[in-house]
């Protein structure tokens, strides 16, 4: 009925720049404010109707009409919108309302994932047009983005994600301008986005766009990494709550398939000068604390038969599942970030990692054996389900299952022993550091005592003449003992005396003297004072 009564064409007739040209023969002319309200109502209605009329979309060349209208909304043509209606909220004296709802219409069309619509819009240059406009908006970081701007940016990023997700050529069209736009949005401060209330929504849209428009294209990945976009993502992991950390970790993990990314990941340092490896271990421990995994105070495995299970996972009763239903062990991989953290360490390695602390080394033992422990959990569930269904295994299968379960438990015991050994080594190292520190303290005190004794001796020599003469005799004796045996100088005509006559000091003298405390009257003189011994 909508097609036959030409309702769709009537709604499309409003998709044109304002003010509209008056049609000849019309009985009643709408005012500009009323025409604007009708136009926004028509676009909102087409957002729901147009995805259901794809044949009419191509027959009437709707894509061209929409793109021409979009070009008008972002152009510099002056248009004084009234912004009186519900749909015109926030669009007074500008064209933001029209831009907002035309973006929403594009989003509705692309959400049905029809390849023909995507090709039609891409061939007419929608990707560079949207990236250029979003870059212009992203450069206005000093201006707070309101909810209308937020809707426009998020819908634009969603449109780009839908278009570029499965096509490498479109990702290359996204190119440099789109990457710079994404980095601008990733580093924007939270208080600039609706006073912080819309920051979460903007980040989700931007990260999704990184995942769809950058990941998968080697050219875009290299440029994104070289422009330090990976640092922006890592900063977001450190600063944002868990709801966003899981998404960002998945995006960075896919980016790390590019070998150039690993170098940037290892050189990154957070606000507290922490390495990414330490941050991953912190996230792992936070996950285990949240799901209440059994651990000791030092982080060592407490229950060797269930090294990864939390209280919530253990509370879920095992029941026979259908063929395509997921077990609780598989659902655990989806609910938390531990599988992603394990994936990172598989790329970075498990040894000789920088920035690890004592508790990180203990946690890393569990992460390294995560896959084996998880396989053991799944086999335990399989055996339990078979027992509940009354299925008995044949002898070879039963022996294999027993071997797997025993190997899992032995692996847990071995990991716990390794963790205790690591803690013992760290404890010995701490004791060595403490001993070296106390040795330094003792040496400092001995040096102070020695200096004090030297000072007392110096005072005694300068205060009592007998002590001064005794010190001088001791010095002369030490000089004589230090010299080689004297030769017979009877055959020589002249023998020089090596001692300085009338010397009144007891230290070894030279051609220069060092004065520790100079009188003030000497400092006032500008000429050099010559001292003669």
Please give the share of the chain, as a percent, with pLDDT higher than 70. Answer: 88
What's the mean pLDDT in 351-359?
Answer: 89
Rg of the chain on CA atoms, in Å: 40
The token pair that represents 181 in the structure block: 């736009």
Q: What is the pLDDT of residue 494?
A: 64
Q: Would you say 45 and 87 are in contact if contact means Cβ atoms under 8 Å apart?
A: no
Least confident of 83-87, 152-156, 262-266: 83-87
Quick one: DSSP state of residue 145? B
Q: What is the pLDDT of residue 419?
A: 92
Find the helix packing angle between 338-348 and 276-291, rounded to 10°: 150
Over 60: is that where the pLDDT of 141 sits? no
* Dist. CA 174–CA 170, nearest whole Å: 6
User: Each residue of 73-101: pLDDT tens digit?
Assistant: 888 877 767 766 777 676 677 788 889 99
Mean pLDDT of the chain: 86
Over 90: is that where the pLDDT of 312 sits? no
* pLDDT classification of 493: cutoffs 50, 70, 90: low
* Dist. CA 190–CA 141, nearest whole Å: 10
Q: What is the pLDDT of residue 532?
A: 44
Q: What is the pLDDT of residue 531?
A: 47
* Dist. CA 251–CA 221, nearest whole Å: 12
Over 80: is that where the pLDDT of 26 sits? no
Q: What is the pLDDT of residue 533?
A: 41
* pLDDT classification of 490: cutoffs 50, 70, 90: low
Cα angle for residues 132, 135, 138 (degrees, 5° grid): 155
The token pair that represents 523 in the structure block: 């400092």
* Dist. CA 233–CA 254, nearest whole Å: 12
Cα angle for residues 247, 251, 254 (degrees, 5° grid): 140
Over 90: is that where the pLDDT of 504 sits? no
The values of phi and psi at residue 145, to 5°, are -85, 125
Q: Would you say 97 and 90 are in contact if contact means Cβ atoms under 8 Å apart?
A: yes
Cα angle for residues 227, 231, 232 (degrees, 5° grid): 90
Q: What is the pLDDT of residue 524?
A: 65
Non-local CB neighbours of 361 within 8 Å, separated by 6+ positions? 422, 426
Residue 278: count other Cβ atoms within 10 Å of its Cβ.
Answer: 21
The string of DSSP letters for 467-494 reads HHHHHHHHHHHHHHHHSPPPP--TT-S-
Least confident of 162-166, 320-324, 354-358, 392-396: 320-324
What's the mean pLDDT in 310-333?
Answer: 80
User: Each residue of 428-465: pLDDT tens digit?
Assistant: 999 999 999 999 999 999 999 999 999 998 888 888 88
The token pair that represents 294 in the structure block: 């059994």
Question: Residue ranges per domain, the chain?
Answer: 274-444
Over 80: is that where the pLDDT of 253 sits? yes
* pLDDT classification of 31: cutoffs 50, 70, 90: confident
3-state secondary structure 38-106: HHHHHHHHHHHHHHHCHHHHHHCCHHHHHHHHHHHHHCCCCCCCCCCCCCCCCCCCCCHHHHHHHHHHH
Q: What is the pLDDT of residue 143?
A: 67
* Dist. CA 304–CA 54, nearest whole Å: 59
Residue 1 parent element (H or E): none
What's the mean pLDDT in 290-315?
Answer: 86
Non-local CB neighbours of 304 within 8 Å, separated by 6+ positions? 409, 412, 413, 416
The two counts, helices (H) then strands (E), for the chain are 23, 0
Choose among 229, 210, 195: nearest CA to 164. Answer: 210
Over 50: is that where the pLDDT of 123 sits? yes
pTM: 0.78
């Amino acid at each position: 009925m909508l097609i036959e009564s030409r309702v769709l064409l009537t709604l499309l007739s409003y998709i044109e720049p304002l003010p509209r040209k008056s049609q000849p023969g019309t009985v009643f002319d709408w005012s500009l404010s009323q025409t604007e309200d009708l136009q926004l109502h028509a676009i909102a209605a087409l957002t729901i109707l147009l995805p259901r009329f794809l044949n009419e979309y191509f027959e009437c060349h709707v894509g061209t009409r929409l793109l021409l209208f979009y070009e008008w909304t972002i152009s510099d043509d002056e248009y004084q919108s009234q912004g009186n209606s519900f749909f015109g909220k926030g669009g007074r004296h500008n064209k933001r309302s029209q831009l907002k709802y035309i973006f929403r219409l594009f989003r509705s069309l692309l959400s049905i994932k029809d390849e023909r619509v995507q090709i039609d819009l891409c061939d007419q240059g929608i990707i560079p047009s949207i990236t250029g406009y979003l870059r212009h908006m992203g450069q206005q970081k000093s201006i707070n983005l309101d909810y209308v701007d937020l809707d426009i940016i998020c819908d634009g990023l969603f449109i780009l994600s839908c278009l570029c997700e499965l096509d490498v050529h479109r990702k290359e069209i996204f190119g440099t301008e789109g990457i710079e736009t994404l980095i601008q949005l990733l580093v924007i401060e939270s208080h600039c986005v609706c006073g912080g209330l819309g920051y979460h929504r903007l980040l989700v849209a931007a990260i999704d766009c990184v995942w769809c428009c950058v990941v998968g294209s080697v050219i875009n990945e290299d440029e994104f990494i070289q422009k330090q976009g990976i640092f922006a993502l890592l900063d977001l992991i450190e600063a944002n709550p868990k709801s966003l950390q899981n998404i960002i970790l998945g995006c960075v993990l896919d980016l790390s398939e590019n070998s150039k990314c690993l170098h940037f990941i290892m050189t990154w340092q957070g606000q507290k000068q922490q390495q990414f490896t330490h941050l991953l271990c912190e996230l792992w421990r936070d996950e285990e604390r949240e799901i209440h995994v059994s651990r000791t105070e030092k982080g060592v495995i407490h229950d060797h038969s269930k090294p990864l299970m939390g209280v919530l996972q253990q509370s879920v009763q095992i029941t026979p599942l259908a063929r395509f239903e997921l077990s609780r062990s598989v659902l655990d991989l989806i609910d938390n970030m531990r599988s992603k953290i394990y994936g990172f360490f598989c790329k970075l390695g498990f040894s000789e990692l920088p920035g690890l602390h004592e508790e990180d080394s203990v946690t890393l033992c569990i992460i390294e054996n995560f896959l084996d422990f998880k396989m053991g959990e799944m086999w335990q569930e399989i055996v339990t389900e078979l027992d509940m269904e009354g299925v008995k295994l044949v002898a070879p299968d039963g022996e294999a299952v027993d071997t797997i379960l025993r190997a899992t438990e032995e692996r847990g015991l071995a990991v716990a022993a390794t963790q205790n050994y690591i803690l013992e080594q760290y404890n010995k190292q701490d004791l060595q550091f403490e001993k070296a520190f106390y040795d330094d303290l003792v040496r400092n005190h001995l040096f102070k005592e020695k200096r004090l004794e030297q000072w007392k001796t110096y005072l005694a020599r300068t205060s009592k003449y007998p002590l001064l003469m005794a010190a001088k005799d001791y010095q002369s004796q030490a000089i004589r003992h230090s010299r080689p045996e004297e030769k017979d100088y009877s055959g020589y005509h002249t023998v020089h005396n090596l001692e300085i006559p009338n010397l009144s000091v007891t230290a070894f003298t030279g051609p220069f003297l060092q004065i520790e405390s100079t009188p003030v009257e000497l400092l006032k003189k500008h000429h050099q004072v010559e001292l003669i011994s």
